[in-house]
Chain A
């Protein structure tokens, strides 16, 4: 028979245990949450540390223009003596390729996204909306390798047949091969991939514009298109910017689709080539990392690749913080950004 302890004392002990238990739980949960933070910090630290020799050896020239593929080859063939490691590297071709593909994708994407968002919110009959809204979510769910597959098996040969004429090929034959796998096709596919993010943010923001404004504008005799553009889209500008930032972060990090479609040559397309400029191949930063994965065991090569990853990490971290900031400032206007961002 358990001893009948004094009721008050056992209650107090239970409460103390409860409070102590509570504290233990709080510490345990907090510890787990902090490991997430440590993971982030660790990621930045380790990647930059591993990448440091490459930055140190090249200084700011790391970002300069050079024949990148040849340099990578030289680095890979470095002798195994650490004193004789080759580090010389200029990543401008890769950076320019990234800027071109992501930039064009975001520009095409934002125009498309704003028109589609306006359509969804204002002009689409409800039957069309019932198809369109799930379709946008579906586009976000398609894996990037599937986009890449369709790109490389359908769009690239199409570009090769239709856009790459013999004379264009010859005009740049000395420098680079035009195979139809080019940054234009890559940017178009990339824009399809990032459009759903921007559409969902913009739709939420358009719907959050106070009805008193839109009704007041309609009552002044302004037609529906003008009301939406001059009042709603104007009020949703911060949201559109936030969507563009988040979409850029996504576009920057896309490796697989771009490595399949963009041509895999570390070449900086030259705008002075006219239309052929669009048909030249590139290999953005992320794709370079994916394609060079086998060579990571060679020390200087690995460090160079980690340097590229470090640049990606820092720029995407910066963009996602900026996007998060922008989304939080949207809350000041009373707009609740919806659901999960892909």
Chain B
């Protein structure tokens, strides 16, 4: 019986596990192991790649173009793959954003007839779940038709190559599409109904409301969806392998400067890593490590950007 009352602060408010039966203590240990090993695996992956990447990465690799040499010290760097990644990401996003915007706006603001809206939603889900290799194969099928010959290399005999930046970007946009549609729809649904109703009460048409009121409001959602999509596009390999032609350097087709590159072939960081690993030609694991490190940095950077954008959106949408 102490004269001075002591404050009992619950140091472990959830109770100690010392008295639990053995089964439960083992399970608790498993939880800790699962959580900590998730962290450990992630750190190992990033750390190992950073270690190897820094070891083999030197700035010349980022600026020199690759060439097909058997001697690794003279086979150049991966400037072209980097350009390829950037080109593909930008182009794919450029195609995806208007499509996603239109679809999301139609689904949220109009959405009639209902069966069509549900069908479109299922379609988006289906695209989201389709493996990228199947999208690539489908792209090949479509773009090898003569009607799409302007998008890629066309041989004299009439057969269309079907592989170019345009065609790859078209299929890449399908990968980014569900993410963008989801993000924009969330943004639209977060705009409270009274904002729209106020606009209608002022006599604005629905189209004007969308253009003047909703679009500015969903800019952050478009932003975060775009970055999400870019991350997915930058990390995809299957479409690149099938639809980009697999040449080490960017090889344009035609005379018009930018269009010729986009109609031509090339590679991206992902296909570069794939080809240089033992699964491809396999002769340059060091280059593969370096390129993989750069690729990882890009993807993680985009991911962090999404988190930052998401944090900016949530206080705004809590209005």
Contact = CB atoms under 8 A, between A and B. Distances in A.
Query: Does chain A touch chain B in the assembled complex, meaning CB atoms less than 8 Å apart?
Result: yes
Given A150-B48, A305-B137, 8 more contacts: A43-B138, A123-B31, A145-B237, A146-B49, A149-B289, A152-B278, A264-B279, A290-B242
Interface in B91-123: 98-99, 102-103, 105-107, 109-110, 116, 119-120, 122-123
A61 B132 CA distance: 27
Interface in A179-225: 192, 195, 199, 223-225
Contact of B295 (A146, A150, A341): A146
B126 A141 contact: no
Interface in A257-312: 259-260, 264, 286, 289-290, 293, 296, 305-306, 309, 312
Contacts of B135: 43
Interface of B: 14-15, 17, 20, 24, 27-28, 30-35, 38-39, 41-43, 45-46, 48-49, 98-99, 102-103, 105-107, 109-110, 116, 119-120, 122-135, 137-138, 140-142, 174, 177, 179, 182-183, 205-208, 210, 228, 231-232, 234-238, 241-242, 270, 273-274, 277-279, 285, 288-289, 292, 295-296, 299-300, 302-303, 307
Interface residues of A, number: 93
B96 to A, nearest CB: 11
A63 B154 CA distance: 37
Given A25-B206, A135-B38, A321 B131 contact: no
Interface string A131-156: 11011111111111111111011100
Given A115-B30, A320-B125, A146 B132 contact: no
A56 to B, nearest CB: 18
Interface residues of chain B: helix, strand, loop or mixed (majority): helix
A145 B120 contact: no
Contact of B303 (A118, A137, A225): A137
Contacts of B210: 25
A142 B35 CA distance: 19
A148 B274 contact: yes
Contacts of B273: 145-146, 149
8 contacts: A19-B205, A47-B134, A123-B14, A124-B35, A128-B35, A137-B303, A147-B45, A317-B129
A290 B238 contact: yes
Contacts of B43: 135
B287 to A, nearest CB: 11
Interface stretch (A74-82, A159-167, A236-244, A246-254): A246-254
Nearest to B232: A342
Nearest to B174: A39
Nearest to A17: B205
Contact of A139 (B41, B131, B279): B41
B31 A119 contact: yes
